[in-house]
Structures are given as structure tokens and as C-alpha cells.
Structure 1
Amino acid sequence: MSIPTSWDWAVSSWLSSLHAKGLSSSTIALYRSHVSQLARGLACSPESVSTESLEEWCAKQKWASVTRRSAYIVYGQFFTHLHERTGAANPTHSLTSPPPPPREPRPAPEEAIAEALRTADPRVALMIHLGATLGLRIGEIVLIHRDDIEQEFTGPVLRVHGKGNKKRSVPISQEFASELLEWCNRVNGWAFPSQRGKHLTPHSASAILSAALPGKWTAHTLRHRFATMAYEVDRDILTVQRLLGHASVATTMRYARPPREALVRAVQGASLGDVPSPAICLDFRGSDVTVTPEGLHFVSTDGTEYTLQFDEAIQSSLFDQVTSDRPEA
């Protein structure tokens, strides 16, 4: 959709600066989308945007936390560029980006991958392998070209075109290299060509994988699966970071799930040896016991109040006992 003409020069100038910095076309498209939405939502030129009007408009947007964080970062960059070019006031200084939401690793389980492979055609099966066994993003999978498969002294590698035009090398087996080359040589050099002569778009490939994988498992959970399995080999987070193409180890830690055995051993290692675990012994003979929505409420002989919570069946049984005339109650 078009933007107001009063924003044309500012947006064009800013986009040119992004191209000059070497940002990828997908990143620039995302940035343009954020600023275009803002331009259509504010009834003024970019030089006239005030902190108050910007905050008011942002407050009305029903964004997810991740979207809001992304938008605030983009707005900050756009208005900083505008300030440097024209001297216009930067209205974004008071915008505080929400912290990134905590994310637990969500690796696709082996059963889900096996189920998908049983019914997948060869093209989809290859996509699954690239995500699950090499950790490639969906946007990296569709960019695979025969020129990216190279032979090094130590063996074949796949040159991966990552986010922000960053490239990395992922070692692959000779057998897999030959299979990839065969796929790339079928049409025009792309492993996953489109009908237009280039490669599939990330959106199309993501939809293909989401349809192939059962339940809510997606292409990105295949990448989590790779991170988890790769980390389990040597517990080397730096190696996994490099293979995934992450700029920060902190990001990698949200992808690799620690093995359960390691968690159990860690807890066991912190035990107190032969020291017995503490036990709580309560004496509530003769105390008034009542049933509340929260559980069984009573006062012990030392005057301390307690509320014990049980499941519904147990709580009902206990209530029957404490309200009966039986001596053992």
C-alpha cells in the first residue's frame, strides 16, 4: 500500500541507507512495512511527529510483544536517520522496547519427524533433513544453489546464506553433497526452484513444511531439534552457535534443550550426601479442621495455621472422615 506523499522523501532516503549498509531484501521489506504502517496511521509529516502522538498511536496497536519490540527498533532507526538528515526532533527517545519474551527450546520430536517422512515426497523430505540435521532456517533452505556446495580439504561443506547476508559453512557428508548436487542440477541450479525460474519463497517453503509436519510442529522446530541434538554430542555451545549462525550464545541457549540426564546428574551432584531430607510432621489431633475452596484448613497444636491442598477425590474423603463421629477421625 502507498504512503502519504509527505513521507516519500524521508522513507526513500532511509531505505537507501539500509541498502548501503548491506541489509538483506527481506529485512528491508520488514522495515519498510513497519514505517509504512506508521505513516498511514499518523496524519502529519514525519518531521511533525511528536513523542505524544507517536506514543498514543503505538498504544492503540494490538501487537504481540515480539512485533512491538521489532516496530520500536525500526521507528528508532528511522527517526534517528531523519534527525541526522534534517535536524528534526527524534520522538522515539521515550519508547521503551519490551524485553524479548523468554523462550524455551521446542525441538520437534523424533516421532513427528518420522511421521512426516513416511508420507513426504522427496523434495519435502530433503527440506526436513536440511532443517533437522543441519539446522538451516527456512530462508536459508530455499537459497541453496549448486555453487554453494564446495569441496574442502577436510570434506564437502555447504555455504549457507544466513540472515543479514552473513555466510557460514556447515560440513556435510559426501553422500549428502552428491544428493544435493543432483537436486540442484535438475532445473536451473536451485535446490528448490519455483515456477518463475528462481527459488521458492521462504513463505511457500514454510507452508509446505508446516503441512507435512504433524500437529503444531513447524520448520523452525526442526532447527531447535538440530540445536538440541548437536549440543548433546559434546555440550559445546560455541560450536552449536557457529553452526546455527547466531550472533549471540544467549540466542543459541534458547534453541538447545539440555539433556534430561544432565539435569538429573546436576541435581544429584548438589545433594547433601547421607543427610536425610527434611520432613514436616504436623500434629493436628483435636484441632478444628474445615474444608475451604483452597483445601483443608486447620490449626496445629502449636497454634500455626495450615492449608493442605489435595485433589478433589482425596479432599472429599478426608472431609468425610473429619466430619464423622468415628473416634479415629
Structure 2
Amino acid sequence: MEALQRAVRGYLDHLAVERGLARNTLLAYRRDLGRYVEFLTTRGIDGLERVGERDVGDFLAGLRAGDEEHPPLAASSAARAVVAVRGLHRFAVRDGRAGSDPAREVRPPTPARRLPKALPLSDVERLLDAAGPAPDAVDTGTDTPRALRDRALLELLYGTGARISEAVGLAVDDVQAADDERDTVTLTGKGDRARLVPVGSYARRALEAYLVRARPALATAGRGTPALFLNARGGRLSRQGAWGILGAAAERAGLAGRVSPHTLRHSFATHLLDGGADVRVVQELLGHASVATTQIYTLVTAERLREAYTLAHPRAL
């Protein structure tokens, strides 16, 4: 097992240093490959040079079927695991740890195409209102530092299409000002790729209200941090904390079960395309490396067109 574990560590170090994979991707690969090492060990295989194509195929079948220790994986999760295993074997051949690649002909399962779930604008507005008061609302005693922070966070997520991890990773200096307005934000996405995204007027006002009226109060509990969004202890707000804010707002808005961490990002992209934005512009705003990833959102709008046609045209049915 030690030789297998050394090979996995070498491969993960390669992905982290030379390929620059995101931390969450590396963690997922580590879990997948740890399960692969366990599988090979139960077969008495102690080195990658002894793995055969049948072993890799049986591992894939086990992922989908599950066993006493592991529940069955969805096609998307099994596909990711097979990609990790194939990458490990390719790396082992290049690194001289094995003479052949038994995973070369093994193909991951094709995940079912699922359209992103976007909220209608009215539901987005309910969600944002449930997070906290609007920055220009009359003070009714509800504009606490946390409420102003929560409203600013969700306004930023919907106004920029940022991933939650990108939003909580922001520093105050990542929000740039022009003509006394904070109108752009620098988001750092997967692979540490940075992109500059405009910030709309609603998110700008919410951010200004948070920075002026809330962040200083939250910061007094901490030791000083450049993070934009702070928790109650004055430290950087975590992803889990941000998910909790989103979930609580969704419950108050009557949207529980319909909102996930990516919902506002999906809504951002879908509403832009519905409004006539070019798919390549949306690609840049979302930080997708390939336009093919963005084009799935065009299927959402096409589905809406078909629905409208079916309901409105006298000879559609």
C-alpha cells in the first residue's frame, strides 16, 4: 500500500504545483484516489505497475453499484473518480512508476444533462429582501451589521455571478472604485484565474452600506483582516457561513429547498441571456475556461421559448 500511496501523493503534488488545480478539486481527487488505493489493496495489488484494465473497470463498476462501506455514486461523481484514476495512471507512466497505462481505454460514464435551476426575478427579489434591508430603506431597527452584511453578500452574488467561494475570498481592495462608486470587483476563480466583473447599482449600494455601517462594527471583534465579508468574530466569513446565510434567507422568503449555493450564479447567467447578452460575454463574466460550459445556459432559455410557444401559439398542440 505504501507504494500506491506514494504514487498518489506524487500525482496530487503535480496537480497542485504544475497544474494549479483548485483546492476543492484536489480534495475530491484525494478522496477518490484514496478509495482506489483501498480497492487495489483488497485485491493484493501493491503497485501501479501491477494494475490491469479489468481492475480499473471493476473499480468503476463498484463506484456505481456501491458496497457495504460506500454508497453508490451518481454518474457525475463516478465520472470524476475515473478521471482522477486515469490521470494517476498517465502520470505514473510519464514518471517511470509503471510501464503501461491500464486505464487508457476506460471511459467515464456520461452524466445526465441537467439544466441549471434559475429563479425568476420576483423570487430573487424576495430572497434578497429576506436577507436584510435595502441599503436605502428607512431604518426600522432591522439594519444590524449582520443583516447589512447578508444583504450585501447576496446582492454581490446575484449582481456579479460570483461563486460563493469567490465572494468569501474577496478582500476589501478587490472592490475597485471609479467616480466615487465601487463599480467593479476582481474575482479569483478556479485555477487562480482572476477576472474583472462589473458591479451593478443595487450591489454597489448594498456594499457601500455594509462597508460604512456594518463592517467596522464586525471588525472590532477581530484582530484585523483585509477580508471583505466578516463573521461575528471579526474574521473572514467562511463558505459554510455564507451557505448558512443563503439558506436562512431562502427559508424566510419561502424558497426553502429551491435555493442552492449556485442558484444565484445560475440566475445571473440565465437572466443575462434572457436579456440579450452574448454567450461569450456571459462566459467571461462567469470565468468559464470554455464557452461550451456556458452554452448549457442557452438550453434554459431555449426551453423557456418552447414553453411560451406551446402555451401561446394556437397550433402548437
Counterparts of 2:207 and 2:153 in 1: how far apart (Å)? Answer: 14
State the SS of the aligned residue for 1:86: coil
Matching residue within 38, 41, 58 for 1:56: 58
- Residue segments in structure 2 that go unaligned for 5+ positions in a row: 64-71, 132-146, 220-224
Counterparts of 1:155 and 1:212 in 2: how far apart (Å)? Answer: 25
Counterparts of 2:47 and 2:234 in 1: how far apart (Å)? Answer: 40
Residue 98 (structure 1) shift: 2.1
**Could you say if the C-alpha distance between residues 40 and 87 of structure 1 is closer, same or farther in structure 2, counting changes exceeding 3 Å?**
closer
Give the alignment of 1:238-277 within 5 angstroms: 238-256=280-298, 257-258=300-301
Matching residue within 159, 162, 166 for 2:186: 159
Partner in structure 2 of residue 34 of structure 1 = 32
Residue 258 (structure 1) shift: 2.0
Partner in structure 2 of residue 320 of structure 1 = none
Computing the radius of gyration over CA atoms, which structure comes out larger, 1 or 2?
Answer: 1
Counterparts of 1:161 and 1:58 in 2: how far apart (Å)? Answer: 34
Partner in structure 1 of residue 272 of structure 2 = 230
Partner in structure 2 of residue 90 of structure 1 = 101
Residue 178 (structure 1) shift: 3.1
TM-score (norm 1): 0.71
TM-score (norm 2): 0.73
Give the alignment of 1:23-172 within 5 angstroms: 23-43=21-41, 44-47=45-48, 48-61=50-63, 62-88=72-98, 89-120=100-131, 121-151=147-177, 156-172=183-199
- Of structures 1 and 2, the one with the larger relative CO (CA 8 A, separation 6+) is 2
Deviates more, 1:21-30 or 1:131-140: 21-30
Counterparts of 1:27 and 1:106 in 2: how far apart (Å)? Answer: 23
State the SS of the aligned residue for 2:158: helix
Q: Deviations over 1:148-186 (max 9, x none)?
A: 112468973100011121111111245455346446665
Q: Is the 8 A contact 1:107 1:225 kept in 2?
A: yes
For 2:95, give the aligned amino acid.
R
Deviates more, 1:62-71 or 1:245-254: 245-254
Residue 118 (structure 1) shift: 3.8
Residue 260 (structure 1) shift: 7.8
Q: Deviations over 1:236-269 (max 9, x none)?
A: 11111111111222221223532788658989xx
Deviates more, 1:180-189 or 1:81-90: 180-189
Q: Is the 8 A contact 1:79 1:90 kept in 2?
A: yes
Residue 49 (structure 1) shift: 2.1
% identity of equivalent residues: 27
For 2:8, give the aligned amino acid.
V
For 1:53, give the aligned amino acid.
D
Give the alignment of 1:192-203 within 5 angstroms: 192-194=229-231, 199-203=236-240
Residue 136 (structure 1) shift: 1.0
Corresponding position: 1:17 with 2:43: no
State the SS of the aligned residue for 2:230: coil
**Could you say if the C-alpha distance between residues 262 and 69 of structure 1 is closer, same or farther in structure 2, counting changes exceeding 3 Å?**
same
**Could you say if the C-alpha distance between residues 151 and 81 of structure 1 is closer, same or farther in structure 2, counting changes exceeding 3 Å?**
same
Deviates more, 1:130-139 or 1:108-117: 108-117
State the SS of the aligned residue for 2:259: coil
Partner in structure 2 of residue 318 of structure 1 = none
Q: Is the 8 A contact 1:155 1:171 kept in 2?
A: no
- Residue segments in structure 1 that go unaligned for 5+ positions in a row: 280-329
For 1:58, give the aligned amino acid.
L
Counterparts of 1:45 and 1:194 in 2: how far apart (Å)? Answer: 47
Counterparts of 1:132 and 1:227 in 2: how far apart (Å)? Answer: 9
Q: Is the 8 A contact 1:149 1:158 kept in 2?
A: yes
Residue 24 (structure 1) shift: 2.3
**Could you say if the C-alpha distance between residues 168 and 69 of structure 1 is closer, same or farther in structure 2, counting changes exceeding 3 Å?**
same
For 1:123, give the aligned amino acid.
R
Q: Deviations over 1:200-225 (max 9, x none)?
A: 33344224323432232222121111
Q: Is the 8 A contact 2:148 2:209 kept in 1?
A: no
